Structure 1
Amino acid sequence: MKPACSYAATHAASLADPAAFWLRQAAHLHWDTPPTRPLSQDAQGFYRWFEGGELNTSFLCLDYHVQHGRGAQPALIYDSPVTNTLRTYTYAELLDMTERFAGGLRAIGVGLGDRVIIYMPNMPEAVVAMLACARIGAVHSVVFGGFAPHELAVRIDDAKPHAIICASGGMEFDRIIPYKPLVDEAVAKATHKPAHVVVCQRDFVTATLQPGRDLDYRKLLQAPPIAALPVPATHPLYILYTSGTTGRPKGVLRDHGGHAVALRFSMEAIYDLAPGEVMFTASDIGWAVGHSYIVYGPLLRGCTTVLYEGKPVRTPDAGAFWRIVAQHRARVMFTAPTAIRAIKKEDPEGRLAHKYELSCLRHLFLAGERCDPATFAWAQQVLGVPVVDHWWQTESGWPMLATLVGLEGMPPPRPGSAGHPVPGYDVQILDEAGEPVTAGTTGLVAVKLPLPPGCFPTLWNDDARFHEAYLATFPGYYLSGDGGYRDSEGYCYIMGRVDDVINVAGHRLSTGEMEEILAAHPAVAECAVLGIADSLRGQVPVGLVVLKDGQTIGEEALEKELVATVRARIGPLACFRTVLVVKRLPKTRSGKILRKTLRQLADGEAFAVPSTIDDPLILDEIRAGLQRRAVGLAYEASHPSQ
């Protein structure tokens, strides 16, 4: 049942008196020691939530529900088509594994405040490791399984973990990727040497253990169970690394108290999920979405969460997500727009969705990148449920803009928009001088301080970088790095990173708007528009498009149609003349298109291949295509007079 309070009243109350509003939300959780100062500032002037309070996230996710009669309820459904495994863990079973593994960590010397790196795919043992770290006050840092050894070594040297917990390997479709050799190479490269590497052996690949340093995960599970340790609300829960503009990753920090309060609130207000209901979040635990809405959010709310080890397609087909929704009776599904586009590419008519009984599904939530209206409309038509695009970042840890389906009086979702500000967030659109812009004008998306609970209080061991990167540009605001606008009805639109705005002969144009136009073409499955350096105009846009399966339109004909459409919608000033058909787009493992890397490639700039890229060979294919079409690397030489 939706709370009686309306969205408008709830959002207004959260801004009028943030401390009182969030203290009321905190009362829904079990505190070992109630907080004495809901909102305070530290010596650097950074905001902190619930100072003086003590609690434990692992207790709130597990013990609390077992003690209140949910021990026999499914907590975690592990669905792994790549390993042909399906298993359900009740709250009581998940608690037993967690408290034993926590005892095992304590036995090998992991204590309060120690860091632990978790290098694993989506598997139950990874979730247990996260909750076990939280249980003893250790700080976990999940690194996506399969990350390059150099990047893992960088994270080892930054976090300085006492231990690394890894799987013996992972599986991508039918390809086995041994993890242990990657971990060994990373440890060899790193200056800091962890005391232990704990290895979870999987049936399809066995890792060789190094005597004295390496331990078997199963042996730690045999330790006597231990109780959850109450920790200060401001105590770090985890570090999650995100890319930095300098190439050095930023360690986003999350604390126990604010994180628990915000996520529990979001599960009810944003996603409208009641205890006992099922949430299927198709992400990875190595990303913020996986932390918040595979692991912590659903368990804090007493829901059942689906942990999926697979892809949206080819495991075995483009109906994989719909099978999971139907089989596990998911009320809410959460994924990235790129996953929907991948499904749409292989099943343009959505026929596979019609094989399954999907009446259980109430909402599809999308985030991670901007959802173009064409993808929004396709998903809504195929599923027959509201599609909610919402916006948040690793730094925020939970949504900043959304359609809060759990509150009354919420304006409905609108294609292309990420919705309205979530309670706690005073979202502003600013010009380059830091002044608010008028409705309909594109500007810089910022959030007025203080940020609500759940957002990062700082970066791991780098307060100066935290201030410089996020707070220094506009004093009193958090600068998101994204551009966007708000329409006359209050709907907010996120158009992508600020560096995705291109300047064509003095005209600032959004590549997101052009991508929206290209994506609406019936032959296009997904696309990216990048600005390429031009000696006359500064930049000119070039479109990269992936065709839907079964499409036979020629590249020349498609280019002609798309150029005409962009010209009609935006005008000749866009100088949009070139479309390149590619087999696929370079993306991170979380599905974000690597636009900055594409732009650097096209402009002939030196760049490092991002550690997060899913297939580096794609870049070579696109480089060859750009050279073939005489754009990008060869543009100025081929068009000296244009």
Structure 2
Amino acid sequence: MSYKDIYAAWRAAPEDFWADAAKGIDWIEAPQTVFDADADVYGRWFVDGTCNTCWNAVDRHVEAGHGDRLALIYDSPVTNTKRQITYAELQDEVATLGAVLSGMGVGQGDRVIIYMPMVAEAVIAMLACARIGAVHSVVFGGFAAPELATRIDDAGAKAVISASCGIEPGRVIDYMKLLSEAIDIATVKPGGCLILQRDVQRCELVEGRDLDWADAMAQARAEGRRADCAEVKATDPAYILYTSGTTGQPKGVVRDTGGHMVAVNWTMKNIYNVDAGDVFWAASDVGWVVGHSYICYAPLLAGCTSVIYEGKPIGTPDAGAFWRVIADYDVKVLFTAPTAFRAIRGQDPEAALMADYDLSGLQSLFLAGERSDPATLQWAEEHLGVPVIDHWWQTETGWAISSVPMGIEALPVKHGSPGVPMPGYDVQVLDDEGQPVPNGTLGNIVVKLPLPPSCLPTLWNAEERFKSSYLNDFKGFYATSDAGILDEDGYLHIMARTDDIINVAGHRLSTGAMEEVLAHHKDVAECAVVGKADALKGQMPLGFFVTKAGVNRAEADICGELVKMVREEIGAVAAFKMAVGVNRLPKTRSGKVLRGTMQKIADAESYRMPAAIDDPAILDEIKDVLTTKGLVG
């Protein structure tokens, strides 16, 4: 069937569609009710079903005779360590760790904070929580102590699983120091902590609080303790994932158990076109939603092999790092952030390092995390020779809202578009009054309720905030907080976050559209555009750019060319007159450019240090450049 046929079939009978998808999951009690429209805020999926995520991700593959198949590949260039784990070995690890957690007093429904680096044990910890019915909340390793404390308190954590340290190129992050500070700050005191000692930097354990991972696992094995899979309601939370909130208080996105499995399992074949036994690599971090959905859960649910990579796209050791991993493990599909490819392109513009590796097994590249500029996408297409799909989804949804569904139909890729809406998502574009706008017109991107399986049913202990954040602005719709257009072919174009739409003398303009133009300049590796306050016009666009490696030209010449390009491509209405060269852009550790913080610096406003910032020193660099050029305030 074609994409149009399948999307139409979902529209005509959504419950039949998801009931069929639910057959891909093993149920303890199969759901009789596919969707209860009267449950909670907008309805709930599979309300009377019971199941277990760890069984579906691990045990059932072993039971089916696939215990020798590789489940996880751990590759760490920062420690020069590699490890491969079969499904049978993974089953033993998670069953043993589940017993350790139970021995720490963790039971079904209890919350466990996982604060770990990109190691195989992080995924094992997630699965062990799922096995015993505990609710995990993964906090990105290296988050500052106050941010970790906030999450411990909000989740009401019964236990914490952590490591002695995290390792970044050129530095070691003392996790134990941060963890101890966070527990001191937190109101909620976890009953115990399980600590993975790493050889690079071991730590002192706190007596009466901390257990050594290796010792606890060895003792459980010696005593023959293994945890069975708990029976969990489909509507019980599988995990809580905190995302930044505009108030500074993080929002705990809740992911349910049954709907999550059904949806992400469906995506593996239909969106990514991978089958059991294929190697799938999501080059992300387990602390982000991509790591949850596509490092841990979806690949294992589908019986694939998932790569856990503790490294960077450049610098570990060079811009050929990704090509080495793809070649070493015969990766079929790579999923990463556009920022990774901008960094690779900036260091190796001609992709010379690619020639050293056999990439013939790679069938497609998927990008997500922030909008990909067409120039980077075209560069990846040209050098990899495979389809490059910049699909679009959010922490709140857990899987793609729009994509090119390679397993259904390899539709044409439109540069600058994340593809077409996926079954389950009725995507519409509305004006600020909630009225539909014509195709090709910029507006607010919304999804008609109900949301499909795996999307958040609420925020943790914050239902009113859930409504005010997502449901109240457009009655009957989920507000994505993204702005864009639907074109005449049904393709979606994400232009900016709604707070990145700037108002220049009464004209609503997309900073994303301007970034597209800047990114096409032959010397530009990365760029960002923000709206700077202006007494006359309200706001004026301010561009930032990083040049490619080896470029040695006067900044003023490049700035002049960028201004001319925007005038030619968008028009004088954009009023684009200011661009500054910087050495690097401030980003989160997942690769999102911190445009909002850059705007506050330009407007001389106070700002809170973003919790997930990769390197805080970059903000001082931005301020110094703007101050030198007289562009602050």
TM category, shorter = over 0.9
CA contact (8 A) 1:105 1:220 kept: no
Cα offsets for 1:349-390 (capped at 9, x unmatched): 001111111110000000001111100100001111110110
Aligned positions of 1:353-372 closer than 5 A: 353-372=354-373
Report how far residue 43 of structure 1 moved. Answer: 5.4
Aligned length: 628
What's the secondary structure of 1:323's corresponding residue?
helix
Report how far residue 578 of structure 1 moved. Answer: 1.3
Report how far residue 141 of structure 1 moved. Answer: 0.3
What's the secondary structure of 1:37's corresponding residue?
coil
Report how far residue 160 of structure 1 moved. Answer: 1.0
Residues 270 and 116 from structure 1, CA distance in 2 versus in 1: closer, same or farther, beyond 3 angstroms?
same
Candidates 203, 206, 210, aligned match of 2:202? 206
Report how far residue 42 of structure 1 moved. Answer: 5.2
The amino acid that maps onto 2:432 is: E
Aligned to 2:69: 73
Aligned to 2:166: 170
Aligned to 2:82: 86
CA contact (8 A) 1:531 1:542 kept: yes
Give the Cα separation in 1 of the matches to 2:81 and 2:324. 15
Aligned positions of 1:244-283 closer than 5 A: 244-283=245-284
The amino acid that maps onto 2:344 is: I
Report how far residue 605 of structure 1 moved. Answer: 1.2
The amino acid that maps onto 1:74 is: L
Tell me, yes or no, if structure 1 residue 424 matches structure 2 residue 420.
Answer: no
Tell me, yes or no, if structure 1 residue 192 matches structure 2 residue 188.
Answer: yes
Aligned to 1:305: 306
Give the Cα separation in 2 of the matches to 1:15 and 1:171. 47
CA contact (8 A) 2:42 2:449 kept: no
Aligned to 1:638: none
Give the Cα separation in 1 of the matches to 2:477 and 2:42. 12
Report how far residue 219 of structure 1 moved. Answer: 2.9
What's the secondary structure of 2:465's corresponding residue?
helix
The amino acid that maps onto 2:337 is: A
Give the Cα separation in 2 of the matches to 1:161 and 1:317. 39
Cα offsets for 1:302-360 (capped at 9, x unmatched): 00000000000000000000110011000000000000000001000001111111110
Tell me, yes or no, if structure 1 residue 130 matches structure 2 residue 126.
Answer: yes
Give the Cα separation in 2 of the matches to 1:262 and 1:315. 34
Aligned to 2:107: 111
What's the secondary structure of 1:79's corresponding residue?
strand
Cα offsets for 1:384-431 (capped at 9, x unmatched): 1110110000000000000000003x5211110000001111011111
Give the Cα separation in 1 of the matches to 2:569 and 2:264. 40
What's the secondary structure of 1:496's corresponding residue?
strand
Give the Cα separation in 1 of the matches to 2:41 and 2:605. 39
What's the secondary structure of 2:392's corresponding residue?
coil
CA contact (8 A) 2:41 2:457 kept: no
Cα offsets for 1:137-170 (capped at 9, x unmatched): 0000000110000000110110011101001001
Aligned positions of 1:423-462 closer than 5 A: 423-462=423-462
Aligned to 1:488: 488
Listed as ranges, the gaps of 5+ residues in structure 2 are: none
Give the Cα separation in 2 of the matches to 1:177 and 1:44. 42
Aligned to 2:33: 37
Cα offsets for 1:520-541 (capped at 9, x unmatched): 0010000000110000000001
What's the secondary structure of 2:200's corresponding residue?
coil
Aligned to 2:322: 321
Residues 610 and 42 from structure 1, CA distance in 2 versus in 1: closer, same or farther, beyond 3 angstroms?
farther
Give the Cα separation in 2 of the matches to 1:364 and 1:351. 19
Aligned to 2:49: 53
Give the Cα separation in 2 of the matches to 1:59 and 1:94. 11
Give the Cα separation in 2 of the matches to 1:183 and 1:592. 25
The amino acid that maps onto 1:587 is: K
Give the Cα separation in 1 of the matches to 2:479 and 2:25. 31
Give the Cα separation in 2 of the matches to 1:562 and 1:214. 56
Aligned to 2:594: 594
The amino acid that maps onto 1:66 is: V
What's the secondary structure of 1:221's corresponding residue?
helix
Cα offsets for 1:444-492 (capped at 9, x unmatched): 0000011000111111111111111100111110000000001111111
Give the Cα separation in 2 of the matches to 1:337 and 1:206. 34
The amino acid that maps onto 2:504 is: V
Q: Which runs of 4+ in 1 moved over 2 A?
A: 41-46
Give the Cα separation in 1 of the matches to 2:14 and 2:385. 37
Give the Cα separation in 2 of the matches to 1:47 and 1:309. 39
Aligned to 1:157: 153
Aligned positions of 1:522-561 closer than 5 A: 522-561=522-561
Give the Cα separation in 2 of the matches to 1:524 and 1:117. 40
Report how far residue 45 of structure 1 moved. Answer: 3.2
Tell me, yes or no, if structure 1 residue 464 matches structure 2 residue 452.
Answer: no
Listed as ranges, the gaps of 5+ residues in structure 1 are: 634-642
What's the secondary structure of 1:400's corresponding residue?
strand
Give the Cα separation in 2 of the matches to 1:537 and 1:465. 34
What's the secondary structure of 1:69's corresponding residue?
coil
CA contact (8 A) 1:532 1:632 kept: no
Aligned to 1:389: 390
Aligned to 2:342: 341
TM-score, structure 1 length as denominator? 0.97
What's the secondary structure of 1:51's corresponding residue?
coil
The amino acid that maps onto 1:351 is: A
